[in-house]
Structure 1
Amino acid sequence: MRSPRTFGRTAIAAIAAVVAAGVALGVTSAPVGASTPGVLISAVAQADGWHGMSGGSVIEYWMPGSDGTPRPASGALFVPSGAPPAGGWPVMAFDHGTSGLGAGCGGQADPVGSPFRRGRSTQDEMMRHTVEKGFAVVAPDYLGLGRFDTGPHPYLEIGTEATATIDLVRAARAARPELSRTWGVIGASQGGQAALGTGHLQASYAPELDFRGAIAIDPESDVEKLLPLTGPGIPAIPKTEDWMSFYVSILAGLRAARPDIDVNGYLTPLGRSVLDDIGTECSGKIIERVRGLGIGDLLARPLSDERMRAALDAYMTVPTSGYDAPILLLLNATDTVVPSPLHAALVAQFVANRVDFQAVVGTEKHTQLNQQMSTALDEFLARNFAVPSQP
């Protein structure tokens, strides 16, 4: 891993030096003074053309890990050209979709040479569109997926997805004072789940900021209700390696985040071997590793006991009440990656709990937007953020 580059003050330089030494030795504990979430480690400007934009920077910062201890994380920042409006550029966080479990797989802070490629052009296009609308955009790698090897990414752990997002907003504002305290979040697939988790957590976690709303495109939800139905005896099903890669990534992430649960105790020797193998890999290699395997090959006993159910709920459940800002759901009724009945269940729960949300339904593939959905997205931004025209 690269050592963090310094950014000005002696205190930050000292922190960076300690982090560099720790990474070289395989140590991930934080130095004294790094315990405040959102503290900036470094901000390094990038050449024009990075992610197809200008005004980009790599941001390195501190966030809490799954156990609450400080961990270094990374992300990208893009700022519009020209003079900022009065009050500064509003900030939009962009939460990316599934990319794997290993360092470098996030693809936001260091896409050059990153093994993660799938979906990059579409995600970059959405970020460019948001910058063109007059937002500064921040894009977290998430814990474990960026420039620091802090162990396997806790895949779909909604808490660390949210803190990675919020703390990047804090760090970006420390790096660039022309950024406003007004902000929101958008995400697709895993990023849609992360966006909803962010929208729910921000009021208590970052009350100093002015959060205006969340946009979730085909978000993962309610999968934790399905996982306890799985167990030994479920055979391999042809052409389901994509879904199997999600399944093993959830288990690997839970194993990393919750060692008290003893995930290995639910696995066959092959299952433990698979999770060991994928902990440093990106999506493509994870898919290849599970090709031809079934759930029954991996599980020695069902995931149905109360302890596992409670752990999965705490780890990945999307909140369905308690939001204090509006939500836009962009959902495809023909989605097969996150099956559309799960989208319907999320909508029903939001309705039952009187959440302030709007849902726009399309018939495209997973995370693709039709014209009606794209229009709803732009109208949501204009309505809730009052974004000024570009100078």
Structure 2
Amino acid sequence: MLNNPIRATAVATLVASALTAAAFAPAVAEAPGSLISVQAEPAGWHGLSRGSSVEYWMTDSAGVQRPASGAMFLPEGDAPVGGWPILAYDHGTSGSGPGCGGQADPESAPFQQQRGGEDRLLKRFVDQGFAVVAPDYLGLGRFDTGPHPYLEVRSEATATIDLVRAARAANHDLSRTWSVLGVSQGGHAALSAAHVQAEYAPELDFRGVAAIDPASDVEKILPFVSPTTPMVPGLSSATTSFIVSILAGLRATDPALDIDSYLTPRGKEIVDAAGSQCLDEIFASTKGVTSADLLARPLAPLRDPLAAYMMLPTSGYDAPILLSMNVADMVVPSPLHAALVAQFAANGVDQQVVLGNGQHGSVSPEQLATIDGFLARVNAAPTQR
């Protein structure tokens, strides 16, 4: 679930400007996908020459219009006939607070030491002729809209699709044709967007989704977590940080669930703080924290709410899917990857799978070549304005 397409490593410290980047929402909401602002950024922003930060309106899971931010990158030269096809890029886990997304304001992002790997991936697709758009997601960008609903399928999807709409409003050289690629949490987001795009944005021409080590089936495991659940040595801080992030997002999304009743006093302090923190800070706050430190009672009663909040659909897709998965993944373990593939297969989903032996979120040259070929194939038909 880590925000790094090359290697899952420790994160850099969030700079103070991350908090000052947060802004209050504009007074009047407009239709989803409407522009709030677009700002051309200097050459070299994200390592690219034609980048812009974008602020726009999106729809949250309750149907409320919320402000969000992201980035847009254009190829060099003139747009082709029909316009540049769009590739949405969904990033991996980066935290729960303003300034943590790292797309509209990359200098304030966690994982700053690993920024180059993600930017090289973005450049790869811009150089192939895609207009690339990259959402921060709800709550992770320039607007302080409350804790990011981490791994919530609906808001991940709408943040992505509404940025595609906003980018087209900002630049008429972008076509209706689009596809989406995501890493880890971003793979979860990309699949979520692929599932709802037909009903949410029928005016667009969706072609396919590539997901690299997507988070999946976590909602089936969490109900078994209780105060007596042992943490896996070496993974306890990461595991706890993901649980904390999910609980912070679920609590903000559905206050009626009374998430605080599942938490110890110390657990409530950690979850409270996580709502405004980036992942490095959440890691630090959960170091050495056990399930007994965090939880007052088992999470089993949250089985259905967790499924509604974060479960990836395993049927109902109308465009091809590429899954790039690493069998040595220790963040989203290979049994979870295998379960997703099996569920797609059982439901007749049009999927292609490419395997690697790297760490979570890594992509080998062979995997990259497969992703390139997949995107070229699904975008082979003429683009449409």
Match of 1:383, SS state, is helix
Residues 371 and 112 of structure 1: CA distance in aligned 2, closer, same or farther (over 3 Å):
closer
Asked whether 1:385 is paired with 2:376, we answer: no
| Offset, 1:116 | 4.5
| Offset, 1:238 | 4.0
- Counterpart in the other structure of 2:228: 233
CA distance in 1, matches of 2:260, 2:113: 30
Asked whether 1:50 is paired with 2:51, we answer: no
Match of 1:342, SS state, is helix
Where in structure 2 are the equivalents of 1:121-200 lying within 5 Å?
A: 121-200=116-195
Q: Is contact 1:235–1:297 with CA below 8 Å preserved after alignment?
A: no
Asked whether 1:281 is paired with 2:277, we answer: yes
CA distance in 1, matches of 2:319, 2:266: 45
2:325 pairs, out of 306, 325, 331, with: 331
- Counterpart in the other structure of 2:17: none
- Counterpart in the other structure of 2:367: 373
Q: Is contact 2:25–2:143 with CA below 8 Å preserved after alignment?
A: no
Q: Is contact 1:237–1:294 with CA below 8 Å preserved after alignment?
A: no
- Counterpart in the other structure of 2:348: 354
Supply the RMSD in Å over aligned alpha carbons: 1.8
- Counterpart in the other structure of 2:250: 254
Q: TM-score, normalised by structure 2?
A: 0.91
Asked whether 1:87 is paired with 2:82, we answer: yes
Match of 2:112, SS state, is coil
- Counterpart in the other structure of 1:60: 55
- Counterpart in the other structure of 2:196: 201
Asked whether 1:297 is paired with 2:293, we answer: yes
| Offset, 1:117 | 2.1
Aligned letter for 1:300?
A
Runs of 4+ aligned structure 1 residues displaced above 3 Å come to 26-32, 113-116, 235-238
Unaligned runs of at least 5 residues, structure 1: 1-23
Cα deviation 1:83-137 (Å, max 9, x = unaligned): 1110000000000000000100000001123345264222111111000010000
CA distance in 1, matches of 2:358, 2:179: 25
Q: Percent identical across equivalent pairs?
A: 59
- Counterpart in the other structure of 1:17: none
Asked whether 1:315 is paired with 2:309, we answer: yes
| Offset, 1:65 | 2.3
| Offset, 1:219 | 0.2
- Counterpart in the other structure of 1:268: 264
Q: Is contact 1:106–1:116 with CA below 8 Å preserved after alignment?
A: no
Aligned letter for 2:326?
N
| Offset, 1:139 | 0.2
2:336 pairs, out of 316, 337, 342, with: 342
Aligned letter for 2:169?
A
| Offset, 1:30 | 6.2
- Counterpart in the other structure of 1:224: 219
| Offset, 1:381 | 1.1
Asked whether 1:98 is paired with 2:93, we answer: yes
Q: Is contact 2:23–2:144 with CA below 8 Å preserved after alignment?
A: no
Cα deviation 1:47-83 (Å, max 9, x = unaligned): 0000000110000000112322111000000000101
| Offset, 1:297 | 1.4
Q: Is contact 1:39–1:61 with CA below 8 Å preserved after alignment?
A: yes
Asked whether 1:37 is paired with 2:32, we answer: yes
CA distance in 2, matches of 1:317, 1:119: 29
CA distance in 1, matches of 2:254, 2:338: 30
1:215 pairs, out of 210, 219, 225, with: 210
CA distance in 1, matches of 2:233, 2:339: 27
CA distance in 2, matches of 1:119, 1:160: 26
Match of 1:112, SS state, is helix
Aligned letter for 2:291?
I
Deviates more, 1:185-194 or 1:118-127: 118-127
| Offset, 1:247 | 1.3
Unaligned runs of at least 5 residues, structure 2: 1-19
CA distance in 1, matches of 2:147, 2:283: 16
CA distance in 2, matches of 1:310, 1:27: 34
Q: Is contact 1:104–1:110 with CA below 8 Å preserved after alignment?
A: yes
Q: Is contact 1:326–1:356 with CA below 8 Å preserved after alignment?
A: yes
